[in-house]
Amino acid sequence: MKIEYENFIKDLNKNLILINKAKLSIKKKRYNSFFIVTPPRGASMFFQQILVSFTKIGYVSNLMASFWDYPELGAILQKKFLNHENLISNFKSKNGNTDGVFEPHEWGYFWRKWLDIPSRDCYYNTKSKIKWKKLNNKLITIKNILGLPTVFKTPYVNTYFKEFKKNIDSARYIFIFRSPYAVCNSICNARIKKFNNINKFYSSKPKKLIAFENMNSPIEEVIAQVYFIIKEMLEFKSILSKRDYIILKYEDLFTSSNKIIEKMIKFTTNDFSLYSKKRKISKYPIESFSSNFKNKNNIIFFDKNFKKEFDFYYDKYFKNFEYDEI
């Protein structure tokens, strides 16, 4: 059924070109774009689900994502049928995928199309010919249809940092960090669960692949993957104005969740009207996030047979890395 559905959606998008010629009458206004920046397995989807549940912000839902070739149509349908007043996420995801028509989506087809990415295994195309002006205008149109500042979650922003900063108007960034040790453990676990093979590469790659492409140890490959992605994140953060980003930590959700949520809302919409209503009547009251959700940093190590090797390589890369100082 999944294959049939995907083929149907692909064919549908191919035929949307006729609708795409229609002229949309939209009131133009300047809305910010917020890009979530995080390493793989960094809980970015969880943060986005929290954000869209407690403030009125635009985002790409599973419904909207189905129309990647004509996202204006997806945005129109989402605008018509989504009621932010009643929206509360189910806070569930698997490898970044969610289940529910209005749950958030990474929008891979859209970003690969516009960034000229040839396959799901590629995260940076050195030969790509990107039409940045058209992409920027497309995002402006989507935001104007939704009539809201809009948050986007895509791993491709990690490898196109400077290009996004240069070419995307009104872009701001939400940096999410999680204990690197837990992230590395989670990626190893995901390799085995998804592929049943520790040697199979999982998720996004750093822009500079030479550093780890020919490694013989899959454990070192994972740890290097996380190290260089975080390194690139911090390098990008260093060139941004302080008003253009915030830093959030996964661990803080379980000690001061209300402060983290308030920080996200203030940075994005500064609209606390839904937050004030939902924090009391929600299935998941803000104050009880720490008891309703399990801190996945505390999960068991993925395979004790790799523990010694894992710790050796982790110390090799992260020995001088001060996570608490981020």
**pLDDT at residue 2 is higher than 60:** no
| pLDDT tens digits along 10-61 | 666 666 665 555 556 566 788 999 999 999 999 999 999 999 999 999 999 9
Average pLDDT over residues 146-156: 96
Average pLDDT over residues 139-159: 96
With a CB cutoff of 8 Å and minimum separation 6, the contacts of 223 are 184, 310, 313, 314, 316, 317, 318
CATH of region 29-180+240-296:
3.40.50.300
In angstroms, what CA-CA distances link 33 with 108, 136, 141, 249, 293?
Answer: 17, 10, 12, 21, 28
Question: What are the domain boundaries of the chain?
Answer: 29-180+240-296
pLDDT (0 to 100) of residue 293: 80
Burial of 29 (0-12, 13-18, 19+ CB in 10 A): exposed
What does pLDDT average to over the chain? 90
pLDDT (0 to 100) of residue 18: 54
Helix (H) or strand (E) holding 156: helix 156-159
pLDDT (0 to 100) of residue 263: 97
pLDDT (0 to 100) of residue 1: 47
pLDDT (0 to 100) of residue 299: 86
Average pLDDT over residues 141-146: 95
pTM of the model: 0.92
